[in-house]
């Protein structure tokens, strides 16, 4: 897909603030610091469009990005960030849940996990949630540049097992810093749009 124009639209916490139209949306979910915003930037060839940070908890709202006015990427708040209060965690959880549950525009959710780590309890819950809302359960393992080929193969098995992924569920490995996996993700997104 050749992208001509991508632009930030709005940061929302409640449905009243979501864009009010029918553009299809692809959402990116995953724990804080996993690389959601970095993946969005890599896919769009835009270095600073989605704000990235080495400080976890950067994205706390549902952020909408319009792409060529034909579809949208949605950067969800990162979960699992230890240094926030219980109340704050509950609020984020609600923000994510409300979006996933109520958004008619939402075509698919990509769940990101860090290839280096065994999925956390929250990753498992998020994945189960995504599936319970009727989505396919596509997983993107990030930061593949941090591991060797053998380690990647090993961790893919761990991720599949821990998330209890279906045998035919898609798992793509990427590196936003090395810019690998980009075309695999685009192929997948194109297939979703065409379905």
Where does this chain bind ligand GTP (CB under 6 A)?
A: 30, 32-38, 52-54, 56-59, 78, 142-143, 145-146, 175-177
Q: Which does 145 bind (CB under 5 to 8 A by kind): ligand GTP, Mg ion, none?
A: ligand GTP
Give me the sign of the Cα torsion angle 73, 74, 79, 83: positive
Answer with the entry of Mg ion, ligand GTP, none that 176 interacts with (C-beta below 5 to 8 A by kind): ligand GTP
Q: Which does 155 bind (CB under 5 to 8 A by kind): ligand GTP, Mg ion, none?
A: none
Name which of residues 17 to 56 contact Mg ion (CB under 5 A).
Answer: 36-37
Nearer to ligand GTP, 69 or 178 (CB): 178
Core vs surface per residue 60-92: b (16+ CB within 10 A) or e:
bbbbbbbbeeebbbbbbbbbbbeebeeeeeeeb
| Secondary structure element (H or E) that encloses residue 165, with its range | none
Residues 58-87 that bind Mg ion (CB under 5 A): 58-59
Nearest Cα neighbor of 6 from 36, 45, 38 is: 45
Nearest CB to Mg ion, comparing residues 75 and 108 = 75
CA distances from 174 to 28, 32, 119 (A): 14, 17, 16
What residues line the site for Mg ion (CB under 5 A)? 36-37, 58-59
């Amino acid at each position: 897909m050749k992208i001509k124009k991508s632009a930030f639209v709005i940061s929302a916490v409640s449905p009243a603030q979501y864009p009010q139209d029918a553009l299809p949306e692809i959402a990116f979910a995953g724990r804080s610091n996993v690389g959601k915003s970095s993946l969005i930037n890599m896919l769009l060839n835009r270095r600073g469009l989605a704000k990235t940070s080495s400080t976890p908890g950067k994205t706390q709202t549902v952020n909408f990005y319009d792409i060529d006015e034909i579809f949208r990427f949605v950067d969800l708040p990162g979960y699992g960030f230890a240094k926030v209060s219980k109340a704050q965690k509950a609020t984020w959880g609600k923000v994510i849940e409300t979006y996933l549950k109520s958004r008619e525009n939402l075509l698919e959710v990509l769940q990101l996990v860090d290839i280096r780590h065994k999925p956390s309890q929250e990753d498992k819950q998020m994945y189960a949630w995504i599936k319970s809302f009727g989505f396919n359960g596509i997983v993107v393992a990030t930061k593949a540049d941090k591991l060797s080929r053998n380690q990647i193969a090993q961790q893919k098995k761990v991720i599949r097992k821990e998330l209890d992924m279906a045998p035919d569920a898609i798992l793509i490995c990427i590196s936003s810093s090395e810019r690998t996996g980009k075309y695999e993700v685009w192929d997948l997104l194109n297939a979703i749009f065409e379905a």
